[in-house]
Amino acid sequence: MEEELIVAKHQAEDANLAKSKFLAAASHDLRQPIHAQGLFLDLLFRTELTPQQRELLTSVSAANTVSAEMLNTLLDFSCIEAGVIEPQVQVFCLQAMLNKIEREFMPQADIKGLSYRSRETSLMVKSDPLLIELILRNLVSNAIRYNKSGGLLVVCRKRSDQVVLEVWDTGMGIAPAFQQEVFHEFHQLGNPERDSHKGLGLGLAIAKGMARVLGCDLWMISTLHRGSVFRLALPIATAAEIPVELIAPEYDYTRPINVRALIIDDDQTVCAAMLHLMRDCGCECDVAGSIEEALELARIRAPDLVISDYYLREQRTGLEAIVALRILLGNNLPALLITGDTAPDRLREAQASCIPIMHKPVTPSHLYRGLVMVLDKLRRSEVG
């Protein structure tokens, strides 16, 4: 009996590993065309269009956004399974985050005729604001997705030395027999037709995994046909700790960056889209399809920054390209990696390199933000 249990355990572990590898491979192969498609759609929106063309393009863009969101969900799940998430703990006030989430999801609630309410709070917690935001976004998204009438409420309550973040909804509720299963990956209730607009069934699994990484408790109470409440317990900040607001930097996306960029990618379609986009940002660009070509161009015209795809020709990587260019031009050369790979080994390797990495599909605004961040980091180091 003990041997059978050991065999069964190994089989389960092998199956789980195979699943993770499949997800990573599928995600990578799909990210490349969706990444290029998103870049070209943004360029099309900047051209002169008839009302009918703009309406059709808006529909195509919406479909592309759904695909991109699904791939980002798979990436979040892969990151948890890879064990590469390291919490960046700080003290912050929850209100700025609640305002941001409400602004993001209020239009979706309005479309469904749902009431979205959140109560003001001055409570401060000590945790990773980005991971807490991701958990809250998944909880709020689910509350809207599976709610047909009524609304949702987001509140914070102080309980002893903790702050409990709560998301209430008036949805269909969950029977006791299924209340633990909803936290399992790819498990969905009320979606037998597998409607892609209802997601992949990973939102709560990701939220649970993130909470586990943070060492926080996430649980739910639900009544069938009446609704549910999801609760996340967070450590409260003490009076002696300095509060830090989570305020995303505001960038003027119309302000030209005015630098010379070297783009390294062996996909001609992506290169063409990136070239147009970077020029719209005010950048002069050179494009290389290999490390050797990049080095040759850099010797002629030294770039101010490098943007490289992770996978290049002859089984070489963007990491190798950036290292080679920094040997040639100096270790302070700003660089960005772009990849569609979500395999655990690749995620760990990218994290260890300390080079900022963006995951396909990359939106123009995210690309702009990434460029500004690496250039600002260089300026700060020079001043320091």
DSSP 122-152: --EEEE-HHHHHHHHHHHHHHHHHT--SSEE
Secondary structure letter of residue 290 according to DSSP = S
Q: In what order do the strands lie in the sheet with 162-169?
A: 115-118, 151-159, 162-169, 227-235, 217-223
* Distance (Å, whole) CA 144 – CA 166: 15
Q: Which two tokens stand for residue 186?
A: 């790819």
Please report the pLDDT score of residue 187 as a whole number.
Answer: 44
329, exposed or middle or buried, with CB in 10 Å at 0-12, 13-18, 19+?
Answer: middle
Cα separation, 87 vs 381, in Å, equals 24
Which residues pair with residue 312 across a beta bridge? none
The rounded distance, in Å, linking the Cα atoms of 283 and 334 is 14
Domain 90-235 bears CATH identifier 3.40.630.10: no
Q: In whole angstroms, what separates CA 339 from the centre of its chain?
A: 13
Instruction: Note the Cα 357 to chain centre separation in Å.
Output: 11
The CATH code of domain 1-84+251-384 reads 3.40.50.2300
- The Cα 266–Cα 263 span in angstroms is 10
| 181 within 8 A of 48, measured Cβ to Cβ | no
Q: Please report, for the chain, the start and end positions of each structural domain, with discontinuous segments joined by +.
A: 1-84+251-384, 90-235
Q: Which residues contact 164 (CB under 8 A, 6 or more apart)?
A: 156, 157, 158, 231, 232, 233, 234
- The pLDDT assigned to 66 comes to 60
pLDDT value for 123: 85
Q: By C-alpha distance, which of 233, 120, 115 is closest to 166?
A: 233
Q: Which of 372, 366, 371 minimizes the C-alpha distance to 263?
A: 371
Residue-wise pLDDT for 126-166, tens only, equals 888 878 888 898 899 888 888 888 889 999 999 888 899 99
Q: What residue ranges of the chain have pLDDT lower than 50?
A: 186-200, 242-251
CB of 351 within 8 A of CB of 84? yes
Determine the pLDDT at residue 300: 93
- The pair of three-digit structure tokens given for residue 57, joined into one six-digit string: 């393009």
Whether the Cβ atoms of residue 135 and residue 100 lie closer than 8 Å to each other: no
pLDDT at site 297? 94
- Return the closest-CA partner of residue 232 out of 97, 113, 75: 97
